[in-house]
């Protein structure tokens, strides 16, 4: 009778990770990416939960505690008319992040479309679009935003539009430069020779290779958008009272320099959020640079 061999059972093969999972793992492996994700996650959560976790209404006035220092009743103190600073900082997170998301979103979409049209069509269209973008870039970002808000009027929506317009040329020029390079590669030429439509080539071959740099630029631009919104609110051209805004709170606190807590805590919130956006942008850039190399299991 023939002897049977007891072969070890084959080890189960681990399913390959998706590109998205690998990309996220690369971000979280760096301390900058981990810091950015954690801090922004906390700020977003606090902003969304502000109506339920804030100890007071952001517009509620305590007539017996004007400019009160931090205490057990008011952890961050109160402002010049007795409103709780902690509650206003929490509610201000929603306003500031809303401005960043909508302004950068509008700038990304509009700038990317203009950049794709300019880079693909070339010629007169390219010259016309780029000269308009150059006209916007000729002004400092804050000066242009101030001019737009001065024309449209001080309002949160107008502040978002102003920030979007100031950031749009950067996206347009970035996408245009990428498209001009990709138009010369072999697979795009092969697609044109095969009779593919320009829309098919742009959406299936060009945009997927451009989107990575656009995402990186968008994440880095988010911090600039937050600073610009804070500056507009600081000057009274952004969010209007009594709606809480970090920039407006800093501006008000500076007028009462003895009450340091009125400007310190919203200023600290701006600092941490900008730092988190910058760190996250650096981590995303590094993740895109190395996504094709190394082993991620």
With 60 as the cut, is the pLDDT of residue 164 above it?
A: yes
Contact 155, 240 (CB under 8 A): yes
Give the pLDDT of residue 12.
Answer: 57
DSSP 190-253: HHHHTT--HHHHIIIIIHHHHHHHHHHHHHHHHHHHHHHHHHHHHTTSSSPTTS--HHHHHHHH
User: In the predicted model, what is the mean pLDDT of the chain?
Assistant: 84
pLDDT tops 70 at residue 10 = no
- What's the confidence (pLDDT) of residue 16? 58
Looking at domain 80-289, its CATH architecture is Orthogonal Bundle (1.10)
pLDDT-based confidence at residue 201 (cuts at 50, 70, 90): confident
User: For position 187, what pLDDT does the model report?
Assistant: 82
292: pLDDT confidence band, cut at 50, 70 and 90? Answer: very low
Pairwise CA distance, residues 213 & 200, whole Å: 21
Count of beta carbons in the 10 Å neighbourhood of residue 221: 24
Is the confidence at residue 189, as pLDDT, over 60?
yes
Question: Out of 4-18, 26-40, 159-173, 224-238, which region has the weakest mean confidence (pLDDT)?
Answer: 4-18
| Model confidence at 177: pLDDT above 70 | yes
- Burial class from Cβ neighbours inside 10 Å (0-12, 13-18, 19+) for residue 279 reads buried
What gap in Å lies between CA 196 and CA 248, rounded to an integer? 53
Single out the residue of 211, 212, 213 nearest to residue 202, CA to CA: 211
What is the per-residue pLDDT for 291?
45
Q: Which percentage of the chain shows pLDDT scores above 70?
A: 90
pLDDT band at 288 (very low <50, low <70, confident <90, very high): confident
In the chain, where are the structural domains located? 80-289
Q: State mean pLDDT over 6-33.
A: 70
Residue pLDDT, tens place only, 59-78: 888 888 888 899 988 899 99
Of 10-24, 57-71, 174-188, 261-275, the one with minimum mean pLDDT is 10-24
Segment 14-20 shows an average pLDDT of: 63
- Between 27 and 127, where is the model more confident? 127
Identify the band that residue 5 occupies on the pLDDT scale cut at 50, 70 and 90: low
Q: What is the pLDDT of residue 15?
A: 54
Instruction: Please say whether the beta carbons of 112 and 129 come within 8 A.
Output: no
DSSP output for 99-122 = HHHHHHHHHHHHHHHHHHHHHHH-
pLDDT band at 295 (very low <50, low <70, confident <90, very high): very low
Q: What is the CA angle 106-148-253, rounded to 5?
A: 95
**For residue 159, what are the contacts with CB-CB under 8 A and spacing of at least 6?**
99, 145, 149, 229, 232, 233, 237, 238, 239
**Measured between alpha carbons, how far is 109 from 176 in angstroms, rounded to an integer?**
13
In tens, the pLDDT along 122-139 reads: 889 989 999 999 998 888
pLDDT at position 161 is: 92
User: Rounded CA gap, 175 and 130, in Å?
Assistant: 12
Residue 2 has pLDDT above 80, yes or no: no
Reported as a pLDDT band with limits 50, 70 and 90, residue 86 is very high
């Amino acid at each position: 009778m023939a002897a049977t061999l007891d072969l070890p059972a084959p080890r189960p093969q681990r399913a390959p990770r998706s590109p998205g999972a690998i990309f996220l793992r690369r971000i979280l492996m760096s301390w900058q990416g981990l810091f950015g994700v954690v801090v922004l996650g906390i700020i977003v959560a606090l902003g969304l939960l502000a109506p339920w976790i804030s100890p007071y209404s952001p517009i509620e006035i305590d007539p017996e505690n004007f400019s009160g220092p931090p205490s057990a009743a008011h952890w961050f103190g109160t402002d010049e008319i007795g409103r709780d600073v902690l509650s206003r900082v929490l509610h201000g997170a929603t306003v500031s992040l809303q401005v960043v998301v909508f302004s950068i979103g509008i700038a990304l979409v509009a700038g990317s479309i203009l950049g794709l049209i300019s880079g693909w069509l070339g010629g007169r269209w390219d010259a016309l679009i780029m000269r308009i973008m150059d006209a916007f870039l000729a002004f400092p970002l804050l000066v242009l935003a101030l001019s737009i808000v001065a024309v449209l009027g001080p309002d949160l929506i107008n502040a978002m539009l102003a920030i979007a317009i100031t950031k749009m040329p950067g996206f347009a020029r970035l996408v245009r430069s990428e498209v001009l390079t990709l138009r010369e590669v072999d697979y795009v030429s092969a697609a044109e020779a095969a009779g593919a439509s320009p829309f098919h080539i742009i959406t299936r071959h060009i945009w997927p290779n451009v989107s990575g740099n656009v995402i990186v630029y968008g994440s880095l631009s988010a911090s600039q958008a937050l600073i610009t919104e804070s500056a507009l609110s600081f000057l009274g051209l952004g969010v209007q009272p009594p709606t809480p805004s970090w920039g407006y709170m800093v501006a008000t606190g500076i007028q009462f320099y003895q009450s340091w807590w009125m400007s310190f805590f919203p200023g600290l919130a701006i600092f941490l959020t900008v730092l988190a956006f910058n760190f996250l942008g650096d981590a995303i850039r590094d993740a895109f640079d190395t996504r094709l190399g190394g082993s991620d299991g």
